[in-house]
């Protein structure tokens, strides 16, 4: 068991990118964190970035109900409760594929990971938060700028991120009687391995390929921590954090 004063978080997709940055930020702030991801080795690497912190690496595929249940069972067995779920695991799917050429298997993989996985993790967290003593907790879903506006050839990713906004709203409403606060962070061009292509140039709506600015992923992590550490009587329903000059607001 961990320190009774420590808050307990589950971070999915914790082996790289935004998930790793958020997990490290929480660990450094004294949280106990269950690190979830498909492969054990990257999770171990994340934990090693904060030596001595209270972490638990749990390999899990969020699209598999049995993996999700095992993740939350392991978290409660180790730490005693769940105070926060950062619902972060996701995939872009194949890039640059027009809608008429997108294989159904590729569509289904994105939906299973980004939407079904987010639902399964939220459901598992919700069950624990409703039953634990003291009751309640917080869920933060990782949306995207694509929850508002698509990029070209991103139908699967964009559809799931729009759906995630509906999931956030519904969970937020249904969680009220049980002290479960649910919000969403929409992120644009945080510098990670997944967004490295932004620097080289990406397709724009006008057909041009243009490099885009990125921002430090640590700025995203600090925002998630701020949302996470609010009292449950307060909630950031939606937050948008983006590279200041990326082509999103207006015409670019």
Asked if 83 and 7 count as a contact pair (C-beta separation under 8 A), the reply is yes
Choosing from 126, 157, 178, 248, the catalytic residue is 157
Asked if 153 and 142 count as a contact pair (C-beta separation under 8 A), the reply is no
Cα–Cα distance measured from residue 38 to residue 66, given in angstroms and rounded to the nearest whole number: 13
DSSP state of 145: G
Question: E strands along the chain, which residues?
Answer: 8-12, 32-37, 55-59, 84-87, 137-142, 180-188, 202-203, 209-210, 238-242
How many residues are given for the chain?
A: 252
Question: 113: which 2 tokens?
Answer: 């990971």
Active-site residue, 157 included: yes
Catalytic sites, residue numbers: 157
């Amino acid at each position: 068991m961990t320190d009774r004063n420590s808050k307990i978080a589950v971070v999915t997709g914790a082996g790289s990118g935004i998930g790793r940055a958020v997990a490290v930020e929480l660990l450094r702030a004294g949280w106990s964190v269950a690190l979830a991801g498909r492969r054990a080795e990257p999770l171990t690497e994340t934990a090693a970035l904060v030596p001595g912190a209270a972490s638990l690496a749990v390999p899990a595929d969020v699209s598999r109900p049995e993996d999700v249940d095992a993740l939350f069972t392991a978290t409660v067995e180790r730490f005693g409760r769940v105070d926060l779920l950062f619902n972060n695991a996701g995939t872009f799917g194949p890039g640059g594929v027009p809608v008429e050429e997108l294989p159904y298997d590729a569509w289904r993989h994105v939906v299973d990971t980004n939407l079904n996985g987010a639902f399964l993790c939220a459901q598992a967290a919700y069950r624990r938060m409703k039953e634990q003593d003291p009751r309640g907790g917080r869920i933060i879903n990782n949306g995207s700028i694509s929850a508002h506006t698509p990029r070209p050839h991103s139908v699967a990713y964009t559809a799931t991120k729009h759906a995630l906004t509906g999931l956030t709203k519904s969970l937020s409403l249904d969680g009220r009687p049980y002290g479960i606060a649910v919000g969403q962070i929409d992120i644009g061009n945080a510098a990670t391995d997944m967004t490295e292509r932004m620097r080289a140039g990406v397709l724009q709506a006008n057909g041009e390929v243009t490099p885009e600015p990125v921002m430090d992923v640590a700025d995203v992590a600090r925002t998630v921590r701020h949302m996470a550490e609010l009292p449950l009587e307060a909630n950031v329903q939606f937050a948008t954090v983006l590279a200041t000059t990326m082509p999103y607001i207006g015409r670019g």
